[in-house]
Amino acid sequence: MTPEHLPTEQYEAQLAEKVVRLQSMMAPFSDLVPEVFRSPVSHYRMRAEFRIWHDGDDLYHIIFDQQTKSRIRVDSFPAASELINQLMTAMIAGVRNNPVLRHKLFQIDYLTTLSNQAVVSLLYHKKLDDEWRQEAEALRDALRAQNLNVHLIGRATKTKIELDQDYIDERLPVAGKEMIYRQVENSFTQPNAAMNIQMLEWALDVTKGSKGDLLELYCGNGNFSLALARNFDRVLATEIAKPSVAAAQYNIAANHIDNVQIIRMAAEEFTQAMNGVREFNRLQGIDLKSYQCETILSTHRAAVWTVKPRKWCRRIRVFCTSPVTRKRYARIWKH
């Protein structure tokens, strides 16, 4: 397999092997049969980042082989969204012969949505000035003339230049309801939008009939909290990254949700506040003791162990992207 060749014909066999491997790993802890949700076999990644290699007059995307560390040229990337592939070609064409945009450019990051919006970040080892802005604006306008709905950002040491904005708004159909999610450049978002929809719908299904309130640790832009709000009396969610908190607050308003509260604090701080060990000014107006958090949700591998919620939480739901992490959780909970 190479970045430009995705063995889509092997998908079903690879998926079947993964299911068998997961069942084998979990056999000591559970005899449940896994539910299997299939991803699109190509164009599923909504974000990607590439180093930029300068080769004489040429310029192109590269990645590094994880084992040999050798450079691999990437002109197309079928794992990424079709929009990213279009932008990869257009960006190289727009930058290659432009000395201002090309000089000291070492990386390009792409973030896209199913609604065909994009943020592209250009990273430099140089100071960015007004001349760079003018050339970047010309490139942006040229890209938009090609019907590419794109926003450009320039980054350098202690510098960030937004030509328009540093976010895009995703719209996901989740269990019959359209969810709006603001996604901010350089912040975490679920990379596979199609699988994200399936994860959210699965989470909604398994939390039907839930009682009490939901606590989510490290909620990001509110991906799970907002979708699951309809299944709980209230949702209390924590996050530490300011851009993600701001995005989550926007998403609450955009989705007209009135039972979700986002607080900016780490899991350790939340534990101190919940146990009455320490008071925080940022919690003024929030009565933690009024929450009946009978369900806790975390996609962060360390959060649950930091909070140690068994004293005040009846159900713990941890979403694991790694079978190894899932096995670790199962082993600890068994004991």
Q: Which residues pair with 111 in a beta bridge?
A: 47, 119
Q: Which residues pair with 2 in a beta bridge?
A: 5
Is 233 labelled as part of a ligand binding site? no
Is 249 labelled as part of a ligand binding site? no
Q: How far is CA 51 from CA 59, 66, 86, 123, in A?
A: 11, 14, 17, 9
Q: Transcribe 199-214 into DSSP letters.
A: HHHHHHHHTTT--SEE
Q: How far apart are CA 3 and CA 87, in angstroms?
A: 16
Is 165 labelled as part of a ligand binding site? no
Is 110 labelled as part of a ligand binding site? no
The set of residues, in sequence order, having a beta carbon less than 8 Å from that of 163 and lying 6+ positions away, is 133, 136, 137, 140, 151, 152, 153, 154
Where do we find the tokens 């159900």?
315
Neighbours of 15 (CB within 10 A): 15
Annotated binding site: 190, 218, 239, 287
- Binding-site residues for S-adenosyl-L-methionine, in ranges, read 190, 218, 239, 287
